[in-house]
């Protein structure tokens, strides 16, 4: 724990939820800009909201910021489980939930922060909104590979994940073609199809399944067979983890009861692969990209975006625009109320230009091909 310097304006920073490339670039941008402006002390909250509950933090100096622009993950640590308003506690082997918000609020006020910058997705920013309503000056920065935060056209981390997923799809083309197989590639995205849509188009997917368009297994089979009849003896199917059949349910990998978002999706590619092979008789293989999409260095685009979001956040602190998230709309940086951000995830509109463009190129979305 750092020794706090008196008579200095303090800005706290935390990163919550799943990690993704670009978090450190935001931390660097916020901290460096604020430090250069003078008279500011930067407090790094450790492991997301866990650090607020346990009062774990350290002061960030310029030396801590050196070399982290290109570094994946987060130097502050993160947590997908810690929620001050519903904190999981195991007692006598039983899981219970306790409201620890008063402890977190006390710790925040003890730090005498001018502002708490919360870097995260809709879950993290939803909690940030609750902190704001409880009197904490908060500003949000949108982070997720899913690109599903309400109010912003894009989040940092998304471009990096698209690159990784697209490279995976690219590498499967040759083996699929060599063995005349159907190859299914499962990507993340939770309940939104942005990642599958972008990587599927970029990777030349023949079939793209997204949560917003429930699929029909017979339509998928017919598309695969139709390609075979035309001499295309392989097919690439890009599957969003949250996709589901018409009238059916998502495939759940596991339930993490202590998490504020307990459902972990995953495994649809294997389920669907078995169905395709049994019905069509065509050899099928499935690959789940999984956490590969979260790791590694951010793309140049994400480094630039994260830097801009971080510096804009400091401008908002100086203007006392608390209770807002910095977002992007039509290539401009805008201020989005955390109240609106907390309303839910941003889904892919069914009339989105990318869907229309893909369909114009005979890409199947599993509904009717």
The set of catalytic residues is 146
Q: Compute the Cα dihedral for 255, 200, 17, 24 and give only its sign.
A: positive
Q: How many residues can be counted in the chain? A: 369
What is the Cβ-side half-sphere exposure of residue 250, based on CA atoms within 13 angstroms? 21
Angle at 346 between CA 185 and CA 288, to 5 degrees: 15
Match 């006020």 to its residue by tokens: 109
Q: Which residues contact 23 (CB under 8 A, 6 or more apart)?
A: 15, 73, 74, 76, 78, 119, 143, 157, 306
Residue 81 token pair = 């489980």
Alpha helices in the chain (DSSP H): 23-37, 49-54, 62-65, 101-111, 122-133, 158-179, 194-202, 217-229, 268-280, 300-318, 338-341, 353-360
- For helices 300-318 and 158-179, the axis angle rounded to 10 degrees is 160
Residue 309 token pair = 């979001």
Distance linking the first and last C-alpha atoms of the chain: 59
User: What is the rounded CA–CA span in Å between residue 90 and residue 166?
Assistant: 41
């Amino acid at each position: 724990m750092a020794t706090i310097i008196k008579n200095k304006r303090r800005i706290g920073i935390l990163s919550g939820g799943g990690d993704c490339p670009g978090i450190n670039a935001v931390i660097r941008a916020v901290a460096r800009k604020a430090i250069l402006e003078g008279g500011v002390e930067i407090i790094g909250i450790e492991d997301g909201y866990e650090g607020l509950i346990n009062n774990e933090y350290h002061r960030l100096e310029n030396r801590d910021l050196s070399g982290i622009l290109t570094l994946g993950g987060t130097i502050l640590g993160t947590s997908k489980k810690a929620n001050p308003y519903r904190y999981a506690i195991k007692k006598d082997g039983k899981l219970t939930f306790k409201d620890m918000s008063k402890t977190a609020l006390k710790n925040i006020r003890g730090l005498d922060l001018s502002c708490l910058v919360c870097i995260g997705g809709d879950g993290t920013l939803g909690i940030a909104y609750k902190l704001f309503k409880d009197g904490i000056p908060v500003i949000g920065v949108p982070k997720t590979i899913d690109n599903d935060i309400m109010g912003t056209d894009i989040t940092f981390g998304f471009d990096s994940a698209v690159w990784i997923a697209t490279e995976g799809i690219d590498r499967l083309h040759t083996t699929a073609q060599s063995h005349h197989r159907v190859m299914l590639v499962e990507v993340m995205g939770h309940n939104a199809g942005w990642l599958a849509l972008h990587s599927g188009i970029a990777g030349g997917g023949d079939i793209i399944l997204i949560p917003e368009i429930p699929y029909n297994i017979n339509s998928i089979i017919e598309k695969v067979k139709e390609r075979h009849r035309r001499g295309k003896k392989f097919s690439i199917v890009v599957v969003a983890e949250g996709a589901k059949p018409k009238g059916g349910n998502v495939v759940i990998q596991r339930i993490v009861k202590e998490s504020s978002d307990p459902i972990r999706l995953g495994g649809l590619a294997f389920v669907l692969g078995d169905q395709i092979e049994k019905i069509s008789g065509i050899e099928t293989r499935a690959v789940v990209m999984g956490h590969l999409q979260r790791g590694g260095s951010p793309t140049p685009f994400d480094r630039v975006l994260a830097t801009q979001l971080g510096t804009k956040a400091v401008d908002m602190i100086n203007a006392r625009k608390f209770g807002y998230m910095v977002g992007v709309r039509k290539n401009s940086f805008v201020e989005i109320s955390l109240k609106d951000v907390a309303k839910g995830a941003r889904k892919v509109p069914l009339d989105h230009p990318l869907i229309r463009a893909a369909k114009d190129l005979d890409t199947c979305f599993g509904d009717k091909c």
